Amino acid sequence: MMQFLLHPPRFLFFTGKGGVGKTSIACSSALQLAGEGRRVLLVSTDPASNVGQVFGVKIGNQVTPLTHASPNMFALEIDPQAAAQAYRERMVAPVRGVLPEAVVKSIEEQLSGACTTEIAAFDEFTALLVESERTASYDHIIFDTAPTGHTIRLLQLPGAWSGFLDTSKGGGSCLGTLSGLEKQRTQYKSAVNALADPLRTRLVLVARAQQATLREVARTHEELASVGLLKQHLVINGVLPAGEVDQDELATAIYRREQAALSAMPEVLKGLPQDQVELKPFNLVGLNALCQLLELKSATTPEPQIALPEALVAPDLSSLVDEFAGDGHGLIMLMGKGGVGKTTLAASIAVELADRGLQVHLSTSDPAAHLADTLEGSRENLTVSRIDPEAETERYRRLILETQGVHLDAEGLALLEEDLRSPCTEEIAVFQAFSRIIREASDRFVIMDTAPTGHTLLLLDATGAYHREVTRQARNKDMAPLTPLMQLQDQGETKVIIVTLAEPTPVLEAAGLQADLRRAGIEPWAWVINNSVAAAMPHSPLLRQRAQNELREIEAVATLHAKRFAIVPLLKQEPVGKDQLLALSKPLSIKSQA
């Protein structure tokens, strides 16, 4: 059995970078514990939860029995947006008609950002961490996606519960109105205590054998440890078995790359209890797949003879670049689930355009971006920048403290400073920097490597809010200024590219992202299927099985989802440096013969 499931406490939290397999491992763990006769409640707090897809049932925001999986299995998907709306109403209702309307509107504005959504989701499952009739029947409660260190810090803040309430008149924070929060003080305190108690809670950090992913999970480890969540386990998911390297150059290259990343993992992770989960030949959907995921040696082996097309004939990345290069300028935004390779593809497109003599500004709003490592130095015609969330947020924090904070006492100032460490603040600060950069697209190409899907949509929410406010304030509607949202909605100025992998969950989430963008009036211009095993024409039985599985998802993208698309193969070498980045956009038929 995996170490992280030995003598499990009542609560298990699975967290990690997008695309590493948190949901699959959480579902498989729940199934294994239920199979041992324990009653298990599986809870997802992911806005793009796919627990229902994994089990093949509709779950939603209510406890749902998974009797087809096990009579001991139950699941719940917390809807963060619905939770945020209910939370806002609960916080504001007590002060309506009591405080001036302007104060009430100010409180509602405070509760409109990302911080409130995060707190509201936490508020939903704090009840699951406290002993009650609702949870008494479950032996284990498993959470797919853990709270962040910021959430826990905020709930521990003494000023939110005591003196500040007495000295302020209807005061509030991104937690909500303090008078409303007073009623929840005991529940929050019990929940935070449960999270910090290693006898009751275990955190499982999920990663891949990739340097960038391991660096990010190390940051998560340190953040959570700093607020007292010390009982952590590390799971490295999807590691290629050594037995696949014989007579396959691609498998050999992948294996060596992964082993090098594991050898060089951050020191803070090396001391954690660690498990490795082998890459499986099948997609992780359905009960059979979940039952085999955590087996130390898979009971299912790839078929020895798997028929694949002699060559995968499909559009390549260069064909997309050909289409928009003729404009001479414009904004190109790459969006998608975390872990699909947006940074690498953004760099590849930028290098390709710059190599054609066009002026390019490549930038990222992803907190975990590694453009400098990918590009390996400066390039002619290419400017590279990063919207550093920490730097932009610090600049914004100083501005607020120098203006709004000068008249506060020590306790009020402490609360304001904690508020300014919330995701709300980062969202505003990053949006301001984002708006500055995309204005450059009028005379050059601006390529934005955005953050993972959830962060991107929050950024677009901020863009939409700005657009509505500017339009509302404009006296002459015909003279209203061009806003960032208008620029994003204009395909003549902006081309949104959705990046995905040829796997069921990434394709499903990419389709969900496309629907969200369309609701905002933004039409995606193209899809890119990245790291395609099928396009790489492997010889390894395991990789050939995965390649065969990809063909169905490629067909779905081509026929159901995308107006235009391109496929980028999984390369033998890490796509770092100009030559390898340019190799990503070469015709597929040429690659397969190389």
Q: Does 512 qualify as catalytic in the annotation?
A: no
Residues 504 and 572 in one domain: yes
Residues 490 and 546 in one domain: yes
- Tell me the C-alpha distance between 515 and 480, whole Å: 28
Q: Can you point out the beta strands (E) in 240-341?
A: 274-278, 330-335
Residue 459 has pLDDT above 70, yes or no: no
Residues 261 and 369 in one domain: no
Q: Which of 86-100, 359-373, 432-446, 566-580 is most confident?
A: 432-446
Residues 119 and 238 in one domain: yes
Among the three residues 277, 293, 309, which one is the final residue of a domain in this structure?
Answer: 293
**pTM of the prediction?**
0.78
Residues 78 and 37 in one domain: yes
- Tell me the C-alpha distance between 492 and 486, whole Å: 11
pLDDT digits (tens, 9 = 90+) for 364-418: 776 555 666 666 556 788 888 888 877 888 888 888 888 877 777 777 777 677 6
Residues 286 and 337 in one domain: no
Which residue among 22, 231, 337, 495 is the active-site one?
22
| Residue 289 located in a structural domain | yes
For residue 356, the enclosing domain spans 317-396+434-593
- In this structure, the strands spanning 64-65 and 73-77 are antiparallel
| Residue 209 located in a structural domain | yes
| Residue 418 located in a structural domain | no
* CATH code of 39's domain: 3.40.50.300
| Residue 531 located in a structural domain | yes
Among the three residues 259, 293, 327, which one is the final residue of a domain in this structure?
Answer: 293
Is residue 533 within 8 A of residue 543, CB to CB? The reply is yes
Alpha helices in 404-523 (DSSP H): 410-419, 423-438, 453-473, 484-489, 504-519
φ, ψ at 406 (rounded to 5°) = -70, -25
pLDDT digits (tens, 9 = 90+) for 236-268: 999 999 989 887 899 999 999 999 999 999 999
| Residue 461 located in a structural domain | yes
Mean pLDDT of 76-93: 80
Residues 495 and 589 in one domain: yes
| Residue 309 located in a structural domain | no
Mean pLDDT of 133-146: 86
**Cβ burial 391-402 (10 Å sphere, 16+ → b, else e):** ebbeebbeeeee
| Residue 410 located in a structural domain | no
pLDDT digits (tens, 9 = 90+) for 499-519: 999 988 889 889 988 988 888
Which residue among 15, 23, 117, 348 is the active-site one?
23
- At position 508, the amino acid (one-letter code) is L
- Tell me the C-alpha distance between 11 and 200, whole Å: 6
| pLDDT at residue 277, as a whole number | 92
Residues 336 and 242 in one domain: no
Which residue among 28, 46, 275, 449 is the active-site one?
46
Which residue among 19, 149, 171, 454 is the active-site one?
19
Q: Does 137 qualify as catalytic in the annotation?
A: no
Q: Does 505 qualify as catalytic in the annotation?
A: yes
| Residue 80 located in a structural domain | yes
Residues 572 and 472 in one domain: yes
Q: Does 297 qualify as catalytic in the annotation?
A: no
**Cβ burial 303-318 (10 Å sphere, 16+ → b, else e):** eeebebeeebebbbbb
- In this structure, the strands spanning 274-278 and 40-44 are unpaired
Number of domains in the chain: 2
- Secondary structure of residue 317 in the 3-state scheme: helix
Could you tell me which residues come within 8 angstroms of residue 389 by beta carbon, excluding any fewer than 6 positions away? 365, 367, 426, 429, 430
- Tell me the C-alpha distance between 505 and 502, whole Å: 9
pLDDT digits (tens, 9 = 90+) for 328-356: 899 999 998 777 888 889 989 998 899 89
Mean pLDDT of 77-83: 79
| pLDDT at residue 155, as a whole number | 61
Is residue 94 within 8 A of residue 179, CB to CB? The reply is yes
Q: Does 585 qualify as catalytic in the annotation?
A: no
Residues 247 and 323 in one domain: no
